Amino acid sequence: MSATDAVVEGLAAKLLLYSRAKRWFIAFSGGLDSTVLLHATREVCDKYPGMPPLAAIHVDHGLHDLSGNWADHCQRTCNQWDIPLQVHTVAVDTEGASLEQAARRARYYVFEDVVGKKDIIFTGHHLDDQVETFFLRVLRGAGIEGLAAIPEQRRVGDARLARPLLSLTRQQLEHYADEFGLDYLNDPSNSDTRFDRNYLRHQVLPLVEQRWPGYRDTVGRCTDHLGAAADRLHALATNLTETSSAMGDPGFTLPSLLELEADMAQASLRKWLKHHGLAMPDTKPLQEFIRQLRQADNTGKVKLKTRSWCLQRYADGVFIRPAKEKVPESLDTLAPSDSLEIKGVGTLSLVQTDGPGLRLPPVGHFDVAFRRGGEHCHPLSRDHSAPLKQLLQEHRIPTWWRSRLPLLYAEGELVAVGDLFLCRSEWVKQQSDKTLWKLEWKREAYS
């Protein structure tokens, strides 16, 4: 059996595990790994009739001038192999994340949108990727789950992501591409040793290989052992009691964590984070966060913050919130025909209601503003007016939302506090035979 036959046979054994899937998607960048994966998967489909329909997804991050050419290359390749291709162009938001993390996050958002229940998306991660990830995490002091490096499969939205090439080396993929004459792209940034992964790949690991030529296989076995240990620990960990804030932030009840011993509390919190698809924090900040939760009073100032998300205590719960609160600064207007998207807040629109609701001012719109302090409101459910700060406390609105609550004004008068409550006003009616409006607010997700 030739080396390329071995690749196809090994891949077939992996892919057949997913033969009951509704559809197969290949994450296709046009580079070596994904090109070999796409070609070899097509070979498997030809050899084993009845496999799920095969398609490819290319995400154009727009990070360099040639990104459009890369998408064109992927389209030509898929046309040649008669494989449907979806090209998605994304805007990479680096706020709160490195460029690599932000690009990955944008890419996975696409995957979640495209793939559905019972679908499988395959990526081209291979053994060298696994080894590099392991060493990088060792150098960062990762725990068991982190040292298990890249899992062979995991959930992405309603679907499952799998990495069938993890047992193959980059050299094996290069031999496969050479034998079939595959045309693939080379990202010039992969040789830039200013990046940690590239430095490790080009400067450090060649020296390791001189002394320990079989290090890839031994590290691969090590990550397998660590992955098995992490799975056992995950199974033993307690399921924290789910809850949500008044604004819909997902979280867990504080007592369900604090009743656990230190090691089990860490394992259970990691299990909860994994369930919500959040990248694992380092061990020391995680330990410190739990220590502070045990000692702090109900000030709401205890946080576990990463570059892309934050856990914060509020009352008797701990909730996911944005890493940065993105406080809006500009004022705007909202008319019945508008859909107003505000970063850090969400999307605002007006919908008709029989009441109670808002009467449209003569100018044809409401003014949208945010808290500056000193606002008062007389809610329909109360007998008297009260400071907005007090009302938000009574409604148990987490502190990180209070500066992002859209306030509606009619001719300078506060008439609505988000979609939470209306303020008594000549512009607010309990019911009417005329058109009344209410605010519809689709909140921006924490991620």
Q: In whole angstroms, what is the distance from residue 24 CA to residue 38 CA?
A: 11
Is there a single domain that holds both residue 343 and residue 228? no
pTM score, whole prediction: 0.70
Closest CA to 168 of 224, 125, 221, 222: 125
Q: Report CA dihedral (417, 422, 423, 429) to the nearest 10 degrees.
A: 150
Q: Tell me, what's the pLDDT at 127?
A: 95
In terms of domains, do 154 and 178 share one?
yes
116/265 same-domain check: no
Structural domain count, the chain: 3
Please check whether residues 219 and 127 belong to one and the same domain.
yes
Q: What is the pLDDT of residue 431?
A: 78
Six token digits for residue 68: 């459009």
Predicted confidence at residue 442, as pLDDT, reads: 93
Cβ atoms 166, 152 nearer than 8 A: yes
374 by Cβ neighbours in 10 Å (0-12 / 13-18 / 19+) ranks as exposed
Torsion of CA 267, 161, 36, 67, to 10 degrees: -100
Tell me the residue range of the domain where 383 lies: 332-443
| pLDDT score for 446 | 59
Here the tokens at position 98 are 């490195």
Same domain, yes or no, for 429 and 300?
no
Please report the pLDDT score of residue 204 as a whole number: 95
Cα–Cα distance, 444 to 189 (Å, whole number)? 33
Same domain assignment for residues 24 and 77: yes
In a domain, 376, yes or no: yes
Q: Which of 280, 309, 317 is nearest to 397 (CA)?
A: 317
Per-residue pLDDT of the chain in tens (447 residues, 90 and over written 9): 566 777 778 788 888 899 999 999 999 999 999 999 999 999 999 988 889 999 999 998 877 777 778 999 999 999 999 999 999 988 777 665 667 777 887 888 888 888 888 999 999 999 999 999 999 999 988 888 888 888 898 888 778 899 999 999 999 999 999 999 999 998 877 888 888 899 999 999 999 999 999 999 999 999 999 999 988 888 889 999 999 999 999 999 999 999 999 889 999 999 999 888 787 788 888 999 999 999 876 566 889 988 778 999 999 999 998 777 677 776 789 999 899 988 888 899 999 998 799 999 999 999 999 998 899 999 998 889 999 999 999 999 999 999 989 999 999 999 999 999 999 999 998 877 678 999 999 987 654
Beta pairing, strands 23-27 & 85-89:
unpaired
